[in-house]
Chain A
Amino acid sequence: AQTVTQSQPEMSVQEAETVTLSCTYDTSESDYYLFWYKQPPSRQMILVIRQEAYKQQNATENRFSVNFQKAAKSFSLKISDSQLGDAAMYFCAYRTLPENYGGSQGNLIFGKGTKLSVKP
């Protein structure tokens, strides 16, 4: 079974600085998707960034980028120029590819999350 581990329960960063959140996962599959979701106090899960395992190039979305190391099964999130609005819980998630015959689109397996605080 796949597992996702986030080893940092809490992190803190100064406004405008850079912070990296760690995530490792375990799987025997060769193709899959990885995601980072942000959950602010409103509790809505907001997609931050996604990475397809077959792509070697690391995904980037504005101030957010990932360091995807497939062999090491590592998927860290880097937030540059941190802003107060970045303060939230961040969840790393793994998703398998859709099944051809069973029809499942694949469910998400989440890590326990990292609480990020941003200091002004």
Chain B
Amino acid sequence: KAGVTQTPRYLIKTRGQQVTLSCSPISGHRSVSWYQQTPGQGLQFLFEYFSETQRNKGNFPGRFSGRQFSNSRSEMNVSTLELGDSALYLCASSFTGSSGNTIYFGEGSWLTVV
């Protein structure tokens, strides 16, 4: 069974540009969440999607947005990039319902803003 797949794995953007990251969850998983990992702030929750609706949101500015499609795939977008947005962005998926609540992570997308 394939794991959580994230694309692209590495990218470099210029300050002021925007970026879109993609995530395909494990087959059968309907909940997708995104996390940002930086050396200074550690791992921080960005947002969570389930059934194409944002269910939960972390403390990030409105420049960070996301969406989920009917096949559970998700994208996150960061507009007007800042140097501080350089980070590893991790996507995670989980099965919903009472039979399991473990979150599984993808390999991440490395974003460098120059």
Q: How far is the CA of A106 from the CA of B100 in the complex (A)?
A: 12
* Interface size of B in residues (CB-CB distance below 8 Å): 28
User: Cα distance A81–B75 when bound, in Å?
Assistant: 41
A44 near B106 (CB under 8 angstroms)? yes
Please report the C-alpha to C-alpha distance between residue A103 and residue B48 in the assembled complex, in whole angstroms.
10
Distance of A36 from chain B, by nearest CB (Å): 12
Given contacts A45-B90, A113-B42, contact A106 B101 (CB under 8 A): yes
In the bound assembly, the distance between CA atoms of A45 and B94 in angstroms comes to 14
CB–CB B108/A103 < 8 A: no
Closest to A33 in B: B101
CA separation between A69 and B102, bound complex, in Å? Answer: 20
Interface size of A by Cβ–Cβ distance < 8 Å?
A: 27
**Interface contact A98-B96, CB-CB below 8 Å:** yes
Measured between alpha carbons, how far is A37 from B45 in the docked complex, in Å?
Answer: 15
B55 touches A102 (CB 8 A): yes
A95 near B48 (CB under 8 angstroms)? no
Closest chain-A Cβ to B106's Cβ sits at a distance in Å of: 7
Do A91 and B43 form a contact, CB below 8 Å, given A103-B55, A107-B33? Answer: yes
Q: A42-B107, A44-B106 are in contact. Are A105 and B35 (CB under 8 A)?
A: no
A50 to B107, CA, bound (A): 20
List the A side residues contacting B55 at CB < 8 Å.
99, 102-105
Beyond A42-B107, A103-B50, A108-B45, 16 additional contacts (C-beta under 8 Å) are A33-B101, A35-B103, A43-B88, A44-B105, A44-B106, A45-B90, A45-B105, A46-B105, A103-B51, A104-B50, A105-B50, A107-B33, A107-B58, A108-B35, A110-B42, A113-B42
B positions within 8 Å CB-CB of A = 31, 33, 35, 37, 42-43, 45, 48, 50-51, 53, 55-56, 58, 88, 90, 92, 94, 96-97, 101-108
Can you give 26 contacting A-B residue pairs, CB < 8 Å?
A: A33-B102, A42-B107, A43-B88, A43-B107, A43-B108, A44-B105, A45-B90, A91-B43, A95-B101, A98-B97, A99-B55, A102-B56, A103-B51, A104-B48, A104-B50, A105-B31, A105-B33, A105-B55, A107-B56, A108-B33, A108-B43, A108-B92, A108-B103, A109-B45, A110-B43, A111-B42
